[in-house]
């Protein structure tokens, strides 16, 4: 059984060999690389931290498995700021502790509403 650091190293090797800047990685692949029967959350958290040392960002995705993104590709991403994307009124409400969190939640996770509506049927 490999530890998280060793598994991250192996994962970084296959990601680098793929010559892709982003990729999907199945939980099964991670289990194989780590020689594990189960993929526990604590191990996945350690793996995410260890993989960052190899300039890869790993995150769990809703459709299952993980998304890997070469961190260097994000350096050229356009910055986003609260000043630009929140209105003056929203910023005032946040400073005063009067924010309408339900509105932010709806906008932050628009697909979540669809999932919740589907569950109600």
**How many CB atoms within 10 Å of residue 67?**
14
Complete DSSP assignment for 9-70 = HHHHHHHHHHT-SEEEE-HHHHHHHTT-SS--HHHHHHHHHHHHTTTEEEEE-TTSSEEEEE
Look up the CATH number of the domain holding residue 57. Answer: 1.10.10
Same domain, 40 and 94: no
Same domain, 65 and 97: no
Q: Which of 17, 16, 36 is nearest to 27 (CA)?
A: 36
Give the integer Cα–Cα distance in Å for 109 and 56. Answer: 25
- pLDDT tens digits, one per residue of 71-117: 999 888 899 999 999 999 999 999 999 999 999 999 998 776 544 55
- pLDDT tens digits, one per residue of 12-62: 999 999 999 999 999 999 999 999 999 999 999 999 999 999 999 999 998
The pLDDT of residue 119 is above 80: no
Give the residue numbers spanning the domain of 92: 82-120
**How many CB atoms within 10 Å of residue 23?**
16
What pLDDT score does 111 carry? 73
What pLDDT score does 115 carry? 47
Same domain, 37 and 89: no
């Amino acid at each position: 059984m490999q530890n998280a650091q060793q598994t991250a190293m192996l994962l970084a090797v296959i990601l680098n060999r793929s010559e892709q800047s982003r990729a999907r990685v199945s939980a099964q692949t991670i289990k194989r690389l780590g020689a594990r029967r189960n993929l526990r959350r604590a191990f996945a958290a350690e793996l995410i931290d260890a993989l960052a040392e190899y300039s890869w960002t790993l995150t769990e995705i809703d459709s299952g498995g993980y998304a890997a993104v070469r961190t260097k590709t994000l350096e050229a991403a356009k910055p986003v700021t609260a000043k630009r994307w929140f209105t003056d009124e929203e910023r005032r409400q946040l400073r005063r502790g009067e924010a309408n969190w339900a509105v932010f939640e709806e906008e932050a996770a628009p697909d979540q509403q669809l999932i919740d509506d589907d569950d109600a049927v």
